[in-house]
Amino acid sequence: MNNKNILQNFRKAFFREKYRFDQGNAFLVFVNFALLVAALINQNGGKPEIIKYYVIGGLFATWFLGYILDRVVQVQDIQERVILKRSPIWQQNFARHDDHEEKLATLISKLENIEKRLEKNIKKTMPTKELQTRKKYANINLNQSKMKTE
């Protein structure tokens, strides 16, 4: 294994663990909230009447902040745009997509040109009435000769 592979494997493992840490951190917020409620209970001398308003207010404030970040700020969309701009893999995919679109556009224009030339050639080579009648007589003569040989 060379140094580049070791570095790539370390990077993959590091970001896999970072993802796990971020997921755990998201749930740790609820543990922190529960500890805050417990501290409030101790501070108020164990009166649960006031604490339930704190809990409901805290949950509502958390939900409302999430709603603002989701609907107004649109955090997910902005985060995704930043990721797409920074990712070299996505940049390569976009470059390939643009290249394929250019190739398709040239192929379509070439096919349209061929179609136009074919239409012109068909119009030029359309037989006149005289040629059509000659062909008709030629087909009649050909059919008659076939009948005689049978």
Chain segment 90-140, per-residue pLDDT in tens: 889 999 999 999 999 999 999 999 988 887 776 666 556 655 665 666 666
Give the residue, 52 or 107, on which the prediction is more confident.
107
Q: Containing domain of residue 124, as a range?
A: 3-149
pLDDT band with cut points at 50, 70 and 90 for residue 71? confident
CA distances from 22 to 10, 19, 26 (A): 18, 5, 6
Closest CA to 79 of 91, 88, 70, 68: 70
The total number of structural domains in the chain stands at 1
Alpha-carbon gap, residue 81 to 75, rounded angstroms = 10
